[in-house]
Chain A
Amino acid sequence: EDQVTQSPEALRLQEGESSSLNCSYTVSGLRGLFWYRQDPGKGPEFLFTLYSAGEEKEKERLKATLTKKESFLHITAPKPEDSATYLCAVQPGSSNTGKLIFGQGTTLQVKP
């Protein structure tokens, strides 16, 4: 069964304290792995797509990496405005639709 697990469930950081969020996945083939950011009361906002092991993408203080079993979202010198829930999702290779399977998310709080 296709499955996505994110850890930790919650993370508190001081401003400037770098850390990483983990997304472990079990899927029959991988078409793509997606990272989204979700603020309270809003819909998920697209951040990155990764397609193959070894791929990396960066955006401001965020960097996403991908291996054959997991993805990491590295946050360098975070600011309070980076506080949000970060969602990881995979598109199984077994499906020819655009179906995304989401993890439960990691809620990040950055304190000034």
Chain B
Amino acid sequence: EAGVAQSPRYKIIEKRQSVAFWCNPISGHATLYWYQQILGQGPKLLIQFQNNGVVDDSQLPKDRFSAERLKGVDSTLKIQPAKLEDSAVYLCASSPAGEISQETQYFGPGTRLLVL
């Protein structure tokens, strides 16, 4: 079974530029998550989708971050404009449909963003 796919793996941009990340979850997984992991810290949830609807985006900086999950499969996360403090690893995770709570989340390899 293929895992969670993410691209690009690395991205270097200058502040105030825009950037987009792509995620393809495990086949058949209805729930998709985007996390931000700053160096030396644990991942922090940015947004959670159930199929193509947003379940939780309470920690998403909506003035600069946006995300969508068209057709309930792939998802994109965009930052516009980027700030220096956005330098981090952006992790995508997915879990099967059903009882959202208590379900194991499976993570992709992440996209490493450096903002100069």
Residues of chain A touching chain B, judged by Cβ–Cβ distance below 8 Å, are: 4, 31-32, 34, 36, 41-46, 49, 51, 87, 89, 91, 95-100, 102-105
In angstroms, how far is the closest chain A Cβ from the Cβ of B93? Answer: 8
In the complex, what residue of chain B is closest to A36 when comparing beta carbons? Answer: B107
Instruction: List the A side residues contacting B102 at CB < 8 Å.
Output: 31-32, 49, 51, 91
Instruction: List the A side residues contacting B109 at CB < 8 Å.
Output: 41-43
> Would A97 and B104 count as touching, CB distance under 8 A?
no
> Would B110 and A97 count as touching, CB distance under 8 A?
no
> Would B105 and A100 count as touching, CB distance under 8 A?
yes
Which of A34, A46, A99, A104 sits near B56, CB closer than 8 Å?
A99
In the complex, what residue of chain A is closest to B100 when comparing beta carbons? Answer: A98
Query: Interface size of B by Cβ–Cβ distance < 8 Å?
Result: 27
> Would A99 and B110 count as touching, CB distance under 8 A?
no
> Would A46 and B104 count as touching, CB distance under 8 A?
yes
Given A31-B101, A98-B105, A44:B48 Cβ within 8 A: no
The verdict on B55 contacting chain A, using a C-beta distance below 8 Å, is yes
Map CB proximity to A onto B83-107 as digits: 1 under 8 Å, 0 otherwise. Answer: 0000000010101000011111111
Residues of chain B touching chain A, judged by Cβ–Cβ distance below 8 Å, are: 4, 31, 33, 40-45, 48, 55-56, 91, 93, 95, 100-110, 112
> Would A91 and B104 count as touching, CB distance under 8 A?
no
Instruction: List the B side residues contacting A98 at CB < 8 Å.
Output: 31, 33, 48, 55, 95, 100-101, 103, 105
Instruction: List the B side residues contacting A44 at CB < 8 Å.
Output: 43, 91, 107
Most A Cβ at <10 Å: residue of B33, B91, B95, B101: B101
Instruction: List the A side residues contacting B105 at CB < 8 Å.
Output: 34, 46, 98, 100
Given A43-B91, A44-B107, A45-B107, A102:B44 Cβ within 8 A: yes
In angstroms, how far is the closest chain B Cβ from the Cβ of A107? Answer: 9
Measured between alpha carbons, how far is A46 from B106 in the docked complex, in Å? 7
In the complex, what residue of chain A is closest to B91 when comparing beta carbons? Answer: A43
> Would A97 and B56 count as touching, CB distance under 8 A?
yes
Measured between alpha carbons, how far is A41 from B100 in the docked complex, in Å? 28
In the complex, what residue of chain B is closest to A93 when comparing beta carbons? Answer: B101
